[in-house]
Amino acid sequence: MAVMDGQRERAGRVPQWWWHGPPWWNRRGDEEQRPAWPWRSTVLVTAFVLVGSNFAAHAQEAERAALDPFARVLLFVTGAALLWRQRYPVPVVFGTAVTTLVYLGAGYPYGPVFAAVAVACFSAVVAGHRRAAWAAMGTLWAGHALVAHWLYRWLPPSGDSAASWGQELVIATWVVAIAALSELARARREQWARERAERAQAARRRADEERLRIARELHDVLAHSISVINVQAGVGLALLDTDPEQARTALTTIKDQSKEALGEVRQVLDTLRTPGDAPRAPAPGLDRLPELVEQAASAGLTVEVEGKPPRLSPGTDLAAFRIVQEALTNVVRHSGSRHARVRLGRDGGTLLLRVDDDGPATGAEAGGS
């Protein structure tokens, strides 16, 4: 099997003697991340170049050569090459620069042909090929300067004077503007990508914190209720034959406690509701301390409460309630005492809360919650 896999792998490789070209030529990205073909934008830019060049030819007919089939082929090839700009940005930016240089060197009119070069340069810069884009733009300007000042005698339109350096300055301004705007667009896209990543990371962090909070809430709710249910189930099984009435009382306590636990679990899960859902029940607080006392009593634990629950913020009130609930659960599960005390007080802005019992722990074999 390994031999067959190796043969298939070798069969899918390009032969060693094949020329791979420079790294940027084969930098296409992963197959799954390869972008779609930009048909619409390519058609629009090509149409703009072809139609706009006709108007430019009429405006410059006294200075530049008229558009002929060769010129239209150059314009079409320059625009159509943009179809590959997202997969092969570097070859496309150099290709459009070369075809544009040939077009201008042949004496055809200036104008919308620069739009195709601008789009190709933008795609190369955004893809991360900044040096290639600047090199292509520099090649275009240097080639135009060479044609306009030294090779003009042998190229159409026929003439015996070189182009003015003012005209070269205009061309250079266009070239620099195209590259600079592409750099600006790249910087903005990178900034937006960083902001999106930061927002996504913050959202994930908030989701993790919310999941942790819900997990703690569920632990606090279920640990106490299941401990009471476990004790009452043991009582019911022990007294089922000898004292059916007491067993019935234990089963009733199990039913009430499970109903209470389901209600609190539902309340915790209600935090996952969307803002448009029905309103949630208020979170439990120390005002429900008598309920904890009754639940503990049903498990055989007498709880004495000292002090009056102070007025607290909702978050602090919920935390204090869960602390008392967890403490009483630990007394029921891990202590041999049948009596516990809950002491409440306040020292300025500090809540004083103490839960203790007068019995020893049941031993190391009792698992904690």
Q: Which has more pLDDT, 248 or 43?
A: 43
| In the predicted structure, residue 316 carries a pLDDT above the cut 60 | yes
Give the single-character DSSP code of 361: B
| In the predicted structure, residue 212 carries a pLDDT above the cut 60 | yes
Rounded to the nearest angstrom, the gap between the alpha carbon of residue 171 and the centroid of all alpha carbons in its chain is 42
Query: In this structure, which amino acid lies at residue 26?
Result: N
| In the predicted structure, residue 63 carries a pLDDT above the cut 70 | yes
Residue with tokens 């350096």: 165
Put the strands of the sheet holding 339-347 in their side by side order. 302-306, 339-347, 350-357
Please state which architecture CATH assigns to domain 300-369: 2-Layer Sandwich (3.30)
Residues 56-61: what's their mean pLDDT?
85
pLDDT band at 2 (very low <50, low <70, confident <90, very high): very low
User: For residue 48, what is the enclosing H or E element?
Assistant: helix 39-59
Number of DSSP helices (H) and strands (E) in the chain, helices first? 10, 3
| In the predicted structure, residue 28 carries a pLDDT above the cut 60 | no
Min mean pLDDT across 110-119, 165-174, 241-250 is at 165-174
Cα→Cα distances 72→91, 100, 101, Å: 21, 12, 14
Structure tokens at 294: 């009754």
Q: Tell me, what's the pLDDT at 369?
A: 42
- Contact of 76 with 50, CB cutoff 8 Å: yes
Rounded Cα distance, 52 and 23, in Å = 36
Preceding omega of 35 cis (within 30 degrees of 0):
no
Structure tokens at 215: 């997990």
pLDDT band at 165 (very low <50, low <70, confident <90, very high): low
Q: Tell me, what's the pLDDT at 43?
A: 92
Break the chain into its structural domains and give their ranges: 22-163, 300-369
Mean pLDDT computed over every residue of the chain: 77
pLDDT band at 8 (very low <50, low <70, confident <90, very high): very low
The angle at the Cα of 139, spanning 69 to 29, to the nearest 5 degrees, equals 90
- Contact of 260 with 298, CB cutoff 8 Å: no
Min mean pLDDT across 3-17, 109-123, 308-322 is at 3-17
Share of the chain above pLDDT 70, in %: 77
Positive/negative CA dihedral, 243, 246, 252, 255: negative
| In the predicted structure, residue 245 carries a pLDDT above the cut 50 | yes
Q: Tell me, what's the pLDDT at 214?
A: 79
Rounded Cα distance, 254 and 240, in Å = 14
- Contact of 75 with 120, CB cutoff 8 Å: no
Q: Tell the burial category of 102 from Cβ atoms under 10 Å away from its Cβ (0-12, 13-18, 19+).
A: middle
